[in-house]
Amino acid sequence: MENTTKRLLDKYTITVNNINIQIEIISQEENPVPTYFVSITNISDTTKLVLEKIREEFISKLDLQELEDSKTAESDDLRQKFTKSITKLINKYFPDTDNKTKEMLVNYLLEENLGLGKIDILLKDKYLEEIVINNHTEPVWVYHKKFGWLETNIKIMTEARIRHYATIIGRDVNKEITTLNPLMDAHLMSGDRVNATLTPISSKGNTITIRKFSEDPWTITRFIKMGTINLEAAAIIWLGIQNEMSMLIAGGTGSGKTSMLNVVANFFPPNQRILSIEDTRELQLPKNLHWVPMETRLPNPEGKGGVAMIDLLVNSLRMRPDRIVVGEIRRKQEAQVLMEAMHTGHSVYATIHANNAEETVTRLTNPPIDIPKPMISSLSMILVQNRNRRTGKRRTLQIAEVKPNGDARIILQLNVAKDNLEKIEEPEILYKTLSLYTGLTKQQILMDLKRKQEILKWMVNNNIEDINQIGKIMAKYYMGKLTYTQKKG
């Protein structure tokens, strides 16, 4: 009977500090969402019970002053100090164990006491995008790249423990979360973005939301393989980027705007200076690019030391950029500075919350952004990302060019039934602009687009997915050294 109600969707192993962790994703008939099961395979249940006893003994031996000092101590110093104490206890309870196993057990206890416990396991799973703690009574939730939202078999035992985790995260980046300041935006040393809230602001309990920083960034070839975008659309984007046309990437929450911004950056030439400005660092560009990443900074508890997006935008114009990449446009000042930058010859790429090209123009021209519609004409392209809530698929919904009056004109649009981008209109403004500034005829532009599609197809067929490999190919292309035989492989 059990076999008919449970179905194994996926199974794999990850290793954290020599601890083998088995991940199973299981669908159960009675549950509306599958479950993400975490089990440590090389530590027995009996050993875990002994380790819990060691942990309690370790905690009981720490005096209050030592715990207070630990709040300001450097993480590495603290780790070394606690390692000695825990090692003594491991030797006491497991005297006959070999050194490798002892080291593993020490690491296990250190993570339980100094780290984020089992949350550290989730952070090591490359298939997870989001990790969510809602309170101590509910299981931890994760957003999986293949299966979407999943419940886990992990629970944080107390509200105090959740608060402790938030405090650890904040301490590492000099931020505080307290009853007076119950909201915290921070990031882990790995770059993962963290938001934490304390009760009673979040009425069910303390929360932590972690958006993972992708170790393996999205690239144009991976997007084409997954069907997020097709060759024709990718070639048009490449053509626009090569010719320094500015672009806005629109979409709803979780639609893949930042991922697409990262993909667009695959096409940047290596002989230009690129400045990126983000609230939390998410972009990863090829190593061969002349790239200066910058981040905003929140003010300290006294309200001092904050560096806002507009500060970095204004400053970036004094740094001789060729391209400016902005995480997200939210306010009028930011949009105005970006439009001015476009008018003065800078290429600008940014994301904005809007569900389609028409809505993007509406958002830009109404409060709170509220910029004059004619100013939008300095923008060449709008690319819209969409996530289908039913299937979880992320797709490019529209690619539009911007008319002189500021309206959007759709070139390509997703046919949801066929799951493919279809041509709606022939690009007119793009071709006219290219002809004006490059002297290329329409026929030459079409030949160039065809060649770009051939290169992209060759990259897909040859499984060139690494961001730095793609950077090298783009450098060869711009230097005129990417030969026809290379394309055919």
pTM of model > 0.75: yes
Measure the CA–CA gap between 105 and 436, rounded to whole angstroms: 68
Share of the chain above pLDDT 70, in %: 92
Read off the tokens for 222.
């991976």
Residue 7, H or E segment:
strand 6-16
pLDDT of residue 168: 87
Instruction: Confirm if 402 and 379 have CB atoms less than 8 A apart.
Output: yes
The packing angle between helices 442-461 and 429-438, to 10°, is: 100
Alpha helix ranges (H) inside 306-396: 309-316, 332-343, 357-365
- Digit-coded pLDDT (tens) for 267-276: 999 999 999 9
State how far the alpha carbon of 479 is from the alpha carbons of 378, 437, 458, 483, in Å: 28, 20, 18, 11
Residue range 482-488: mean pLDDT, rounded: 56
Cis check for the bond before 139: say yes or no (omega within 30 of 0): no
pLDDT of residue 85: 78
Instruction: Confirm if 467 and 217 have CB atoms less than 8 A apart.
Output: yes
pLDDT of residue 4: 56
As annotated, the residues of the chain forming the CATH 3.30.450.380 domain(s) are 44-211
Where does the pLDDT of residue 74 fall: very low under 50, low under 70, confident under 90, or very high at 90 and above? Answer: low
pLDDT of residue 68: 45
433 vs 4: which has the higher pLDDT: 433
Where does the pLDDT of residue 246 fall: very low under 50, low under 70, confident under 90, or very high at 90 and above? Answer: very high
Minimum mean pLDDT range among 14-18, 75-79, 302-306, 485-489:
485-489
pLDDT of residue 77: 62
pLDDT of 240 above 80: yes
3-class SS of residue 250: strand
Minimum mean pLDDT range among 164-173, 369-378, 463-472:
164-173
pLDDT of residue 69: 52
Q: How far is CA 176 from the centre of its chain?
A: 24
CATH of span 44-211:
3.30.450.380
- Digit-coded pLDDT (tens) for 470-481: 999 999 999 998
**In this structure, what are the phi and psi dihedrals at residue 209, rounded to the nearest 5 degrees?**
-120, 120
Cis check for the bond before 367: say yes or no (omega within 30 of 0): no
Average pLDDT, the chain: 88
Measure the CA–CA gap between 67 and 184, rounded to whole angstroms: 23
- Digit-coded pLDDT (tens) for 129-138: 999 999 999 9
Name beta bridge partners: 207: 197
Buried b (16+ CB within 10 A) or exposed e, 152-184: bebebeebebbbbbbbebbbeeebebeeeebeb
pLDDT of 486 above 90: no
pLDDT of 216 above 80: no
Long-range CB contacts (< 8 A, 24+ apart) of 391-394? 392/148, 393/227, 393/419, 394/228, 394/255, 394/256, 394/259
Smallest CA-to-CA distance from 369 within 358, 357, 360, 377 is with 360
Read off the tokens for 276.
């990126």
Residue range 285-311: mean pLDDT, rounded: 89
Burial of 334: CB neighbours in 10 Å, binned 0-12, 13-18, 19+: buried
pLDDT of residue 489: 42
- Digit-coded pLDDT (tens) for 405-415: 999 999 999 99
pLDDT of residue 76: 60
Q: Beta 408-415 vs 394-402: how paired, if at all?
A: antiparallel
As annotated, the residues of the chain forming the CATH 3.40.50.300 domain(s) are 220-488
Measure the CA–CA gap between 489 and 486, rounded to whole angstroms: 5
pLDDT of residue 239: 97
Instruction: Confirm if 89 and 113 have CB atoms less than 8 A apart.
Output: no
The structural architecture, per CATH, of the domain 220-488 is 3-Layer(aba) Sandwich (3.40)
Query: Tell me, what DSSP letter sits at residue 375?
Result: G
pLDDT of residue 487: 42
pLDDT of 65 above 60: no
What's the first-to-final CA gap in the chain, in angstroms? 53
pLDDT of 321 above 80: yes
Smallest CA-to-CA distance from 385 within 263, 282, 275 is with 263
Q: How many helices (H) and strands (E) does the chain have?
A: 17, 18
Give the residue carrying structure tokens 């450098």. Answer: 475
